[in-house]
Structure 1
Amino acid sequence: MDTGTHVVMGFAIGGLATLDPVVAESTATSQSILIASLIGSQIPDIDTVLKLRNNAVYIRHHRGITHSIPAVILWPLVILAVIYPFFPEANLLHLWLWTFGAVILHVFVDIFNAYGTQALRPFSSKWVALGVINTFDPFIFGIHIVGLILWGFDFHPGYTFIAIYFVIFIYYLIRFQVQHAVKTAVKKRIPNAEKIIVSPTIKFYQWRLAIITREHFYVARAYGRSITIFDEYKRVEIPDHAVIHAAKHDKNLAAFLSFSPVYRWEIDEYEDFYEVKFIDLRYRSNGHYPFVAVVQLDNEFNIVGSYTGWIFSEEKLRKKLEIIPD
């Protein structure tokens, strides 16, 4: 989820904690839990700082080890080490339990996005991405804001957020049903679909689709059960070519391939260099595919430039690569 939603969920955990009798009887415990819950609802995303290094490192590691099982166990202990000295009268066990709950909730809700997490590490490096909730969901964020407003008007925060989370649970079930209906509609339209990658959008009934068959890739959009196909590409295996083998040693392309489940590729040969481009088919926007990996190699197949990330114009891509072909 987005940062704002994680923040309001941190407040929600603090509100739910007031139902705990031990917390309700101790001001120090309730205050420390609210602060720890806000930190716990954010700390798994500390790997966002990797973007300052480069996109390849960020793409390969974001929502990776920081969302793993060992991290979920470790983060509450780190937070307690920071928070508890300021609240020595707080109940340590209950402070840990609610902080642990905030961290778990963060990782759990991220699983439902299209991006997903590596929440099963170290047992599996597979990305768990259920693709039913958009990274920012207006309903989920909005209903949390309603809960915080009611809390401000002296409604009991524990009972308020229990009711809200029951509503959100029903909302998730409905989203799964809508996603299933979309996949069923795709199967009717393209019976030979081998894999259907469904990505939610900010609009409730709109979904991005990347569909894989034995011979083709389809890029489509669903509105309810109505499927609109925008692009169709012949599915061509990556060639056994020296320039491809050399390009795969590039860190940017390696990061792209570790993350993208469906893409097409291009090889362009210029007078003094080659350009290899991989294009993710999941993120079509206004007729453009912004998530790419590009590697440029000289005639001896030495890598001379590369980039991976979201680019919305060819000019910006050329500036990133610092090589502009004639």
Structure 2
Amino acid sequence: MMDPITHAVAGIVIGSKAGVGLSVANGLMIASTLGAIAPDFDITTRLWGDYVYLGQHRKFSHSLPGIFIISILIGAILTPFYTALSFGQLFFWAVLGGLSHSFLDMFNSYGVSLLWPLMKKKLSFNLLLIFDPVLFILLLVFIYAGNNLIINLWTIGIFIGYLLLRILMRQRAYRLVKKNLQNEYPDSKLVILPLRFSVWDFIASLPDKKVVGTVDSIKRKVRILGCFDNIRNHLGQAVLASVLGKYFVDFTPYYHISCEASEGKYVARLMDLRYRVKDRFLHNATLVMDSDLKVEEAIFQPFNLSRKIYLNI
């Protein structure tokens, strides 16, 4: 997710343009700021564990219906404190804050289910970092500018230019990886994900394997970190048909499944290829099946392989 400070500052920027300026007396700014940070209140689902939290994060609260419902609550809570403003005004500015939250979150690799429940797929532009210092500085400039039209227009122009620069950097990263892999993996389908300012993760998918690594779009260096063979179709179908498999596919669009036979059982391992910590992937899962492919044990391993959540099967 985009960091909460950036979201709060974005909400302040929106509300500060309402004409009253930076003040707690500016109810529209308070509404937009609360609207901008409220979608991440879904972190409260972590009280029921990481399985529930990661399964729900960036779904309802980040969707259009969720933003409208949250904004209704914000408007209802603030109306008694800002009697000079109508519920409709507070609701509208809370909606703007909520939309800014989901809009910014769409720019990183996690994405948001903006059209939930009509479409569960997360929308992601894969352009910005979770904390993007350039974006943060531009938001601060917006606050400093107040209602100065010239500075605001220049800042908008710089932001658009920065997005175009990120697109060009990603395209260069794509070409570098494609050129590096063309001899050994000519038909790979590439996904480029932001890691640091000039460094990107890549996932190259082929019919029989996946290749992952990093690429520096400025230094033009490509580094392959791993090559994973895909499992046979009937094993993969059994894994994806399980409760754990369905959860994992819903959780991440970029995953890999490996499987090994041991003592008459199949042990399948699922990896979320989006995020790495040193030499391992952040989120994993393990599924144990018998020789008839019936699930005996399902384990979700968020954040650390030693962190195990056993599912009821």
**TM-score bucket (shorter structure):** 0.7 to 0.9
SS in structure 1 at match of 2:191: strand
Output the TM-score relative to the length of structure 1. Answer: 0.80
- CA pair 234-296 structure 1, distance change in 2 beyond 3 A: closer
CA deviations over 1:63-86 (Å, ceiling 9, x no partner): 112222222333322211111111
SS in structure 2 at match of 1:228: strand
Percent of residue pairs bearing the same amino acid type: 24
> Counterpart of 1:175 in structure 2: which amino acid?
R
| 1:73 paired residue number | 68
| 1:40 equivalent in alignment to 2:30 | no
Output the TM-score relative to the length of structure 2. Answer: 0.83
Quick check: 1:247–1:295 contact (8 Å CA) kept in 2?
Answer: no
| 2:161 paired residue number | 170
Quick check: 1:247–1:303 contact (8 Å CA) kept in 2?
Answer: no
| 1:240 paired residue number | 234
- CA pair 94-166 structure 1, distance change in 2 beyond 3 A: farther
SS in structure 1 at match of 2:115: coil
Quick check: 2:199–2:214 contact (8 Å CA) kept in 1?
Answer: yes
| 1:196 equivalent in alignment to 2:186 | no
Aligned equivalents of 1:222, 1:246: Cα separation in 2: 31
| 2:15 paired residue number | 14
| 2:124 paired residue number | 129
- What are the equivalent positions in structure 2 for 1:17-166 lying under 5 Å apart? 17-18=18-19, 31-148=26-143, 150=144, 156=146, 159=149, 163-166=154-157
SS in structure 2 at match of 1:282: coil
- What are the equivalent positions in structure 2 for 1:176-255 lying under 5 Å apart? 176-191=167-182, 192-201=186-195, 203-224=196-217, 226-241=220-235, 245=238, 248-251=241-244, 253-255=245-247
CA deviations over 1:168-224 (Å, ceiling 9, x no partner): 2221121112112222222323343442221112x3111111111233311121111
Quick check: 2:300–2:309 contact (8 Å CA) kept in 1?
Answer: yes
- What's the offset of the Cα at 1:130? 1.0
> Whose helix fraction is larger, Structure 1's or Structure 2's?
1
- What's the offset of the Cα at 1:262? 3.2
- CA pair 299-194 structure 1, distance change in 2 beyond 3 A: closer
Quick check: 2:50–2:302 contact (8 Å CA) kept in 1?
Answer: yes
- What's the offset of the Cα at 1:128? 0.7
Aligned equivalents of 1:187, 1:3: Cα separation in 2: 35
- CA pair 211-67 structure 1, distance change in 2 beyond 3 A: same
Bigger drift between 259-268 and 214-223 goes to: 259-268
| 1:279 paired residue number | 271
- CA pair 54-274 structure 1, distance change in 2 beyond 3 A: farther
- CA pair 296-77 structure 1, distance change in 2 beyond 3 A: same
Aligned equivalents of 1:187, 1:297: Cα separation in 2: 37
CA deviations over 1:90-134 (Å, ceiling 9, x no partner): 254443332221111111111111000111223322211110011
SS in structure 2 at match of 1:102: helix
Count of residue correspondences: 302
Quick check: 1:12–1:161 contact (8 Å CA) kept in 2?
Answer: no
Q: Which runs of 5+ in 1 are unaligned?
A: none
Aligned equivalents of 1:69, 1:275: Cα separation in 2: 39
Quick check: 1:10–1:39 contact (8 Å CA) kept in 2?
Answer: yes
Higher relative contact order (CA closer than 8 Å, sequence separation 6+): 1
Quick check: 1:207–1:221 contact (8 Å CA) kept in 2?
Answer: yes
- What's the offset of the Cα at 1:9? 0.8
SS in structure 2 at match of 1:186: helix
- CA pair 17-161 structure 1, distance change in 2 beyond 3 A: farther
SS in structure 2 at match of 1:114: coil
SS in structure 2 at match of 1:113: coil
